[in-house]
Amino acid sequence: MKLEENPLVEYFQVAIASSLVLFGFDGEELFILLSRKSHEPFKDAYILPGKYVKPSEGNDAVMHELLNERIGVNPDSIYLEQLKAFSKVFRNPLGRVVNIAYYALVKLTPEVKKHSNDFENDWIPYNKIPDLAFDHNDIIIYAKERLKRRVKRRPVGFNLLPEEFTLSQLQALYEKALNRELDKRNFRKKIFNSNLIIETGNQTDPNLYRKVSKLYRFDEEKYEKMTLKGYDFLF
Amino acid sequence: MKLEENPLVEYFQVAIASSLVLFGFDGEELFILLSRKSHEPFKDAYILPGKYVKPSEGNDAVMHELLNERIGVNPDSIYLEQLKAFSKVFRNPLGRVVNIAYYALVKLTPEVKKHSNDFENDWIPYNKIPDLAFDHNDIIIYAKERLKRRVKRRPVGFNLLPEEFTLSQLQALYEKALNRELDKRNFRKKIFNSNLIIETGNQTDPNLYRKVSKLYRFDEEKYEKMTLKGYDFLF
DNA sequence: ACAAAAGTGTTCAACCTACACCCATGT
DNA sequence: ACATGGGTGTAGGTTGAACACTTTTGT
Give the mutation candidate from B87, B149, B178, B228 for the A interface (greatest A CB count, under 10 A): B87
| pLDDT tens column, A22-80 | 999 999 999 999 999 877 667 788 999 999 999 999 999 999 999 999 999 999 999 99
The string of pLDDT tens digits covering residues B171-217 is 999 999 999 999 999 999 999 999 999 999 999 988 877 789 999 99
- Whether residue B117 contacts residue B35, with contact meaning beta carbons closer than 8 Å, is answered with no
Return the amino acid letter for B200.
Answer: T
Q: CA A217, A219, A225, A226 torsion: positive or negative?
A: negative
Shortest distance between the Cα of A193 and any Cα of chain B, in A, equals 20
CB within 7 A of strand D (chain B, 192-231) = 193, 206, 210-212
To 5 degrees, how large is the angle CA A32–CA A34–CA A37? 175
The DSSP letter of residue B128 is -
Give buried/exposed letters for A91-118 (b at 16+ CB in 10 A, else e). eeebbbbbbbbbbbbbbbeeebbebbee
Q: What pLDDT score does A120 carry?
A: 87
Gyration radius of chain A over CA positions: 20
pLDDT of the residue at B192: 95
| Closest C-alpha to A48, from A112, A136, A131 | A136
Please report the pLDDT score of residue B91 as a whole number.
65
A214: closest CA of chain B, how far (Å) = 34
Q: pLDDT at residue A200 above 60?
A: yes
- Whole-angstrom CA distances from A230 to A73, A154, A222, A224, B31 are 26, 5, 11, 10, 27
Q: A193: which nucleotide lies closest, measuring CA to C1'?
A: C15
A232 C-beta less than 7 Å away from strand D: no
> In A13-50, which positions are buried (b, 16+ CB within 10 angstroms) versus exposed (e)?
bbbbbbbbbbbbbbbeebbbbbbeeeeeeeeebbbbbb
- The answer on pLDDT for A231 being more than 60 is yes
Burial class for A164, CB neighbours closer than 10 Å (0-12, 13-18, 19+): middle
CA gap A103, A139 in Å, rounded: 10
d(C-alpha A157, C-alpha A151), whole Å? 8
Give residue ranges of B with CB < 8 Å to any A CB.
Answer: 1, 3, 6-8, 10-16, 52-59, 82-85, 87-89, 93-96, 98, 100, 234
On the question of a cis peptide bond just before residue A41, with omega within 30 degrees of 0, the verdict is yes
- Separation of CA A96 from chain center: 26
CA–CA separation, A89 vs B170, rounded Å?
39
User: Does residue A1 carry a pLDDT above 60?
Assistant: no
Q: Say what percent of chain A tops pLDDT 70.
A: 96
Distance (Å, rounded) from C-alpha B71 to C-alpha B93? Answer: 28
Which nucleotide has its C1' atom closest to residue A204's CA?
D6
Model confidence pLDDT, tens digit, residues A123-133: 999 999 999 98
Q: Which has the closest alpha carbon to B80: B12, B20, B141?
A: B20
- B3, B8, B94: residue with CB nearest A8: B94
Question: Which nucleotides on chain C have any atom < 7 A from a protein Cβ?
Answer: 3-10, 15-20, 23-26
Go through the domains of chain B in sequence order and give each one's CATH number.
3-153 (3.90.79.10), 163-229 (1.10.10.10)
Segments of chain B with pLDDT less than 50 = none
Name the nucleotide with the smallest C1'–CA separation from A172: D5
DSSP state of A69: I
Q: Tell me how crowded residue B111 is: count the other CB atoms within 10 A of its CB.
A: 10
Q: How far does the CA of A155 sit from the C1' of D26, in Å?
A: 54
Model pLDDT, residue A210: 77
Contact present, B204 and B212 (Cβ < 8 Å): yes
Pick from A57, A142, A81, A78: nearest CA to B85: A81
In chain B, the residue whose alpha carbon lies closest to the alpha carbon of A100 is B85
pLDDT of residue A3 exceeding 60:
no
Q: How many CA atoms lie within 13 A of A138 on its CB side?
A: 11
- Number of neighbours of residue A161 by Cβ within 10 angstroms: 23
* Residue numbers in A near B96 (CB within 8 A): 12, 55-56
A140 pLDDT tier (thresholds 50, 70, 90): very high
Residue closest to D27, CA→C1'?
B210
Q: Are A14 and A98 in contact (CB under 8 A)?
A: yes
pLDDT score recorded for residue A38: 77
User: What pLDDT sits at residue A64?
Assistant: 97
Which residue spans within chain B are E strands per DSSP? Answer: 15-25, 30-36, 46-47, 50-53, 79-86, 97-107, 121-125, 197-203, 214-218
Q: What is the mean pLDDT of chain A?
A: 92
Q: How far apart are CA A135 and CA A147, in angstroms?
A: 19
Distance from CA of B19 to the nearest CA of A (A): 13
Predicted confidence band of residue A106 (pLDDT cuts 50, 70, 90):
very high
- Please answer yes or no on whether A54 and B11 come within 8 Å at the CB atom: yes
DSSP lists the bridge partners of residue B110 as: none
Which of A2-6, A140-144, A228-232, B21-25 has the least mean pLDDT?
A2-6
